[in-house]
Structures are given as C-alpha cells and as structure tokens.
C-alpha cells in the first residue's frame, strides 16, 4: 500500500514537472465565467470567484481550529469516535499549506439548480474550471474507477460518462457486485415499506432520476443531471441564451465586482413556476410553507454574496419585489431599530433579536398570516392562529392589534445558554418597549394577566414579590413553569426566570446591558439602518447550523404542545416555555465560558421601497470563526438526532439530501420516547462468490 502510494506520488510529481506547451485540444472550452454555460431558467446559481484567493483568506481566518493541522488535529475528536466525511476531508485538505497552494491554480466553479421535479429531486449541474490544476480531474477519475460507469453517448464531441445509482443501492457490476446490488436493493425495498407505513406520503425518486453524468474536458469538468449537463455542453460549443445574458444577473454581478467570494443569483419566479407545475401530492413538504410565507412569485430577483473584506466576512442578500406582496417581506419594519433597548439585555444572553414595531396593528396582521401559513403547512387548518386569536379577543373583550400591538414600539427576544438536557428550557427574556409609561403599566397590570389566564384555562392571580429590588408579577402555570414580568419606565420585561427579569430591569436602569460592550457597539454600527437586527454568539450559531437549540425544537415538534384548552368554543393548543431547570452537572461538551467574550455575528434586515436587504458581518472573526468550526465538529461527534414519527431517526446536523421528501404531517417526537418499529426480517447477504 505504502509502496504504491510512493510510486503514485513520484509519477504525479514527474508529470507536474513536465512543460505544459502542448497543442490545444479541439474540445477545450475557454469560458471567462461559468454563467455562460448555464441556461437562463435555473432557479439558483452559486459561483465561486477567485477561488485561490478565497481559500487563502479563509485558511488565514480559520487558523487555530482542529482542521488547521489536518488530519492530525482531529486526534482528540477521533478518540471520541469521530469519522470525517468527504466534505470535512475536502475542507481540511484545502486549509493545509499544500491545499492553499494548489487552490491558486483553480480558475472558478459554479453550481446551478432548477426547481423540484415530480420524482422528488432538484436537477443540478456542477461546473469546475480547474485552470492549471490537474488535481480535480484526477480525483474524479479515481471516483469513477470505483463506480459502474456507462458511456451515454456524446454531446458536441464530448463523451458523457454516466453513473446510475439508487438510494443505498450499489451499482450492479460483474461477479460478486451483482449479488451485492441485489441484496442492497432488497434491503432498500424493505426500508421503503417501513418508511411508507410510518410516514405516508414520503416520496422516493424513480430509478432513472439518480443518474449522474460526467463530462471531462481540458478546461472544464461538468457533473450533474443528464439534461443540464447536455445543456451546458451545448452552450459551451455554440452561442445561445445563457444566464450571463440576463440583465438582472449582469447588474448583480457588477455590484459584487471582482472580489473573491461566493456569488448567488436566484430566480424566485422560476422556482414558483416549477412548484406550481407539480401535483399537490408531488410537491416537496417545504414548498407549501415557501408559497404561503415567502411567496417567491412576488419577487423579481434574488442576489447575494459572501465575501471577505480586509479579513472580515461580509454577507449580503438583496431581494427585489415585483408583482404581489410577500407576508415575510411585509413584516420587515420600514424604520430602523433603536438599540437603546439592548441596555436591558444581560451579557449572559447568547442570541438576541431586536425588531422595530411601527404600525404595530398592521404587523400583527402580517404575523398572523405567517402563523397561519405554518399551520396550513402542518395540515392543521382547524387550528389557524388567526381564528384562535379572533375567538380569544371575543372572550377577553380586547383587540390585540389596536390595543396591544399598536402600543408596543420595539420588541427584543433574548435566549441564554442551554446547559443540560433537551427538555430543559434555557433562560428566555422578552422586552417590550411601550409608547409611554401608561401603556407599559397597562400591559403589566391588565393585558398580560388576562391573556395568561385565558390561555391557561383557569383563574390565575399573579403573585407580587420583590426580586433584587424589583417588584415582579409571577404567574404560576403548574407543569408549564412560571412567567415573571415587571417594568421600568416604558419597558416591560417578561421571562421564565424571575432572577433574569429583575437583572434585566436593573441593567436597563443603569444602562449596563450588552449595549455597553465595545464589540456589540461595533457590530451594530454595521447595520445602523436595519429594522430588525440579530446578534448571535458562536454557541447559538453552532446550535442553529446543527438544527439544535430549544426554540428550534419547539418550532419543529408538535409534541411541544403540552396543554389544550377550550376557550370560547374553540380548542386552543397552548405551549409554554417551561420552568428553568435546577443546576445540573455540565455536559461533556459544555461550551467554554470564554465563548461569551467572543464577538457576535450581527445580521441586519431593512426594507426600502421594493427591496429587502439582509447584511451580516463578523467584525472580529478571530478567534470566533475557529471556535465555531470546533463547535460544529464537536456537535457532530455527539451525533445529535431527533426521531421522527414512526421512530425513523435522522441526524440533526444539516445535510444536503434531495430525497426523501417528508410530508407535511411528519412531526418529530421527543428524543426520550421514540415509537418502536419492528421491521420485517431482511434478506441474508450473499456469500462471497469470489472465494
């Protein structure tokens, strides 16, 4: 093994040292931008510009993380059972000095997607421009040598190599591979029967839908769905309509300039049309939510970029609306958020969301539209939040829009760190800035108790006690825990921990909250005109990227509804934040306290005219980014998973997988109570026929 490796390295070195003055290949495609090889009707297009410089700057930002000394830096994680996947291995290799040096030869890369199909997939094409590097082609040839490859003809004189596989089924080959393929196919059939029994409506791609075509050219490598690979090769050889000719694409490309980074161009209308062409049973589960909340047909274009400016990562998304209105876009405030309210946020909070609330009554209606869309996507039309709110208003003799929401000028939601089991609620804090002190006094003394009492289904008389010098009202909700609320001036604080609520009020009075931190001030200066802002420490970012976190679990689980009450003749689903759990020994992966001293990521969203713009910056990426990478890998080691209804477990770490598509009715269950499934006996694997 080692002898063959040394021989391969020697041969590769000799080849690399040879002069490159060779006759041009007639198949060579010289394209200045991959967008000229993509049709104008793709839904999404992502392009890596100046990949060499991008990899170089990224490696500098991530220096010090466990991938910095790949693969030796993974030693401690491997002791805990960590196994690097292909994506992690590729990232680690690119971050090494040799990887950075090799990346300087790359010319560019792009990935394009079309809308979903009836087979449950999204056609795609990956374009690689290796430039002077021969490494990508060698790696692909190495991959194809392990697959059952068939020649699928030629397009414009270029040979097409096709690999056809099924989910979890090896491609059939000679000898023992055929028997293994039959065995795996039988296993897959059994798994499909189990999944379809437990998750009715789950979609599986047809056998031909997983065919992947490869086309190797001297200056271009094309990988993807057969139809898009053919289109790419046709555009490479002849003139035709391409994405680079679209005016919206040209303007967005000009705005980004030639800076190194990732460039995104989206065609929301194309995505909407692709979804509309499908029958209701063929549409992905996420499509209904997208259609109801985002309404992609209402947007003319979507562009974005992720660049590194002077060592600082900068994210920007720009959506331009056309005909129609998007409930999500309409919910974005037109006036800037005033950060003074952040004086009430304790430094122990790891994620903070601030929202300006002009025209609160109208925004309440927009939020109800969004909540209704979530309900429809979950197939619970009988429990539309808007209907529940109407009946609740009649029962309480109060109008939430004009009498409550309209009297709140700004809102802040903050979450503290989770330290223990998934059932424990972290510290949660809600800050409401009222129009004046009288409005704040009314919220604490009248509105809040009436709403809590109605939702709980029985009379509640909040107790009044003093905590840390603050007079707080506490409503005991039994098994749901307790809610405490109080005010200072025109600011109302509500939370599931009275100590936290009192601390927030005291900090606000002294103006000693997180707004006093220089890092937070610097971050907010980047999004000074945003109507909504988000501040997130590395801990919260890692939870979000891994699909973890208490709020994510509550939003994704129907079993988070602990109580139901009949109010005004309608059945209400009532959820609670739960009590703060008593201190427990920290988990083995407990986050370092020093993480709270790291600079937060700041996101700002603003709406002006027909545009909605999201901008994000990490003003001090070191050591925040290396620590974030370490957290993501640590969570991957822990193997967090959330069992879906029927006991089908899926990893919580986000993975790109176009199939299967879970139907709207699929809801996750609590991790401690999975539904047992007794699968039918699987066929025995074939004996090794080579012996």
pLDDT digits (tens, 9 = 90+) for 144-193: 786 678 888 888 889 999 987 654 444 444 444 455 555 555 666 666 56
For residue 686, is it within any domain?
A: no
Q: pLDDT band at 665, cuts 50/70/90? A: very low
Which DSSP letter does residue 24 get?
P
Angle at CA of residue 76, ends 73 and 77, nearest 5°: 90
For residue 450, is it within any domain?
A: yes
Provide mean pLDDT across the span 429-443.
Answer: 94
pLDDT at 253 over 80: yes
pLDDT at 585 over 70: no
For residue 677, is it within any domain?
A: no
Residues 305 and 352 in one domain: no
- pLDDT, position 240: 75
Lowest-confidence region among 7-21, 284-298, 416-430, 501-515:
7-21
For residue 160, is it within any domain?
A: yes
Q: pLDDT band at 638, cuts 50/70/90? A: low
Residues 342 and 302 in one domain: no
Share of the chain above pLDDT 70, in %: 71
- pLDDT, position 688: 47
666 or 192, which is more confident: 192
User: For residue 596, what are its two tokens?
Assistant: 């709270």
582 or 162, which is more confident: 162
Over the stretch 183-242, which tens digit does the pLDDT of each residue have?
Answer: 555 666 666 566 555 555 555 555 445 788 999 988 899 999 999 999 999 888 776 788
Q: Output the CA–CA distances (angstroms, integers) from residue 25 to 109, 131, 430, in the order listed.
A: 21, 14, 65
The secondary structure element, H or E, covering residue 76 is: helix 75-79
Residues 78 and 147 in one domain: yes
Domain residues for 220? Answer: 27-167+204-309
pLDDT at 341 over 90: yes
327 or 513, which is more confident: 513
Angle at CA of residue 22, ends 16 and 25, nearest 5°: 110
- pLDDT, position 181: 53
Over the stretch 98-123, which tens digit does the pLDDT of each residue have?
Answer: 999 999 999 999 999 998 887 777 89
From the list 256, 218, 212, 270, the residue with the least C-alpha distance to 39 is: 270
Residues 295 and 341 in one domain: no
Residues 6+ apart with CB under 8 A from 549: 415, 418, 540, 543
**pLDDT, averaged across the chain:** 75
User: Which of 260, 275, 309 marks a domain boundary?
Assistant: 309
Share of the chain above pLDDT 90, in %: 27
Q: Output the CA–CA distances (angstroms, integers) from residue 46 to 256, 297, 632, in the order listed.
A: 13, 20, 23
Cross-strand pairs, 649: 643
* Domains: count for the chain: 2
- pLDDT, position 66: 87
Residues 378 and 522 in one domain: yes
pLDDT at 437 over 80: yes
Residues 436 and 332 in one domain: yes
> What's the CA gap between 652 and 347, in Å, rounded?
28
Over the stretch 276-324, which tens digit does the pLDDT of each residue have?
Answer: 888 777 777 778 778 888 888 888 889 999 998 778 899 999 998 877 7
For residue 319, is it within any domain?
A: no
């Amino acid at each position: 093994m080692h002898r063959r490796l040394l021989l391969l390295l020697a041969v590769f070195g000799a080849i690399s040292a040879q002069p490159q003055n060779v006759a041009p290949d007639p198949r060579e495609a010289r394209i200045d931008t991959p967008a000229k090889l993509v049709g104008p009707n793709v839904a999404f297009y992502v392009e890596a510009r100046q990949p060499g410089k991008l990899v170089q700057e990224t490696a500098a930002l991530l220096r010090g993380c466990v991938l910095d000394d790949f693969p030796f830096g993974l030693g401690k994680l491997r002791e805990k059972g960590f196994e690097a996947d292909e994506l992690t291995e590729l990232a680690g290799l690119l971050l090494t000095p040799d990887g950075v040096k090799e990346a300087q030869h790359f010319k560019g890369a792009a990935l394009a997607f079309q809308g979903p199909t009836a087979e449950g997939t999204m056609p795609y094409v990956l374009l690689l421009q290796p430039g002077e590097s021969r490494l990508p082609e060698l790696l692909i040839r190495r991959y194809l040598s392990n697959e059952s490859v068939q020649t699928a003809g030629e397009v414009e004189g270029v040979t097409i190599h096709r690999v056809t596989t099924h989910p979890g089924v090896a491609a059939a080959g000679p000898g023992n591979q055929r028997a293994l393929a039959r065995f795996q196919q039988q296993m897959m059939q059994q798994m499909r029967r189990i999944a379809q029994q437990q998750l009715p409506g789950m979609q599986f791609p047809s056998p031909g839908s997983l065919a992947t075509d490869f086309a190797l050219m001297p200056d271009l490598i094309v990988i993807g769905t057969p139809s898009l690979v053919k289109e790419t090769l046709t555009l490479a050889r002849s003139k035709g309509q391409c994405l680079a000719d679209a005016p919206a694409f040209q303007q967005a490309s000009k705005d980004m300039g030639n800076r190194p980074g990732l460039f995104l161009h989206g065609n929301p209308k194309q995505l909407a049309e692709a979804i509309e062409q499908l029958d209701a049973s063929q549409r992905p589960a996420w499509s209904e939510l997208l259609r109801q909340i985002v309404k992609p047909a209402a947007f003319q274009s979507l562009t974005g970029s992720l660049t590194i400016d002077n060592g600082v990562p900068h994210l920007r998304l720009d959506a331009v609306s056309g005909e129609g209105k998007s409930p999500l876009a309409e919910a974005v405030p037109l006036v800037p958020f005033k950060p003074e309210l952040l004086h009430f946020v304790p430094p122990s909070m790891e994620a903070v969301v601030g929202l300006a609330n002009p025209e609160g009554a109208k925004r309440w209606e927009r939020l109800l539209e969004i909540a209704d869309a979530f309900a429809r996507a979950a197939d619970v039309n009988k429990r539309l939040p808007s209907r529940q709110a109407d009946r609740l208003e009649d029962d309480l003799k109060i109008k939430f829009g004009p009498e409550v929401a309209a009297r709140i000028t700004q809102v802040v939601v903050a979450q503290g760190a989770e330290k223990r089991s998934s059932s424990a609620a972290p510290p949660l804090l809600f800050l409401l800035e009222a129009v004046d002190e009288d409005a704040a006094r009314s919220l604490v003394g009248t509105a809040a108790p009436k709403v809590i009492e109605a939702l709980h289904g029985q009379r509640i008389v909040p107790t009044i006690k003093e905590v840390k010098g603050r007079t707080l009202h506490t409503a005991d909700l039994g098994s749901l825990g307790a809610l405490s609320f109080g005010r200072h001036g025109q600011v109302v604080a509500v939370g599931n921990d009275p100590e936290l609520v009192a601390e927030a009020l005291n900090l606000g009075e002294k103006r000693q909250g997180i707004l006093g931190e220089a890092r937070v001030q610097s971050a907010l200066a980047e999004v000074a005109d945003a109507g909504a802002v988000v501040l997130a420490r590395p801990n919260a970012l890692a939870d979000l990227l891994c699909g973890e976190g208490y709020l994510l679990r509550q939003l994704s689980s129907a079993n988070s509804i602990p109580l139901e009450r009949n109010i005004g003749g309608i059945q209400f689903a009532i959820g609670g934040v739960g009590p703060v759990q008593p201190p427990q020994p920290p988990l083995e992966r407990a986050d370092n306290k020093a993480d709270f001293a790291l600079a937060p990521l700041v996101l700002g969203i603003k709406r002006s005219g027909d545009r909605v713009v999201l901008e994000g910056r990490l003003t001090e990426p070191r050591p925040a980014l290396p620590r974030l990478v370490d957290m993501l890998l640590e969570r991957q080691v822990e193997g967090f998973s959330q069992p879906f209804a029927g006991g089908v477990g899926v990893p919580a770490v986000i993975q790109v997988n176009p199939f299967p598509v879970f139907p709207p009715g699929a809801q996750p269950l609590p991790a401690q109570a999975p539904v047992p499934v007794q699968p039918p006996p699987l066929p025995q694997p074939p004996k090794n026929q080579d012996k």
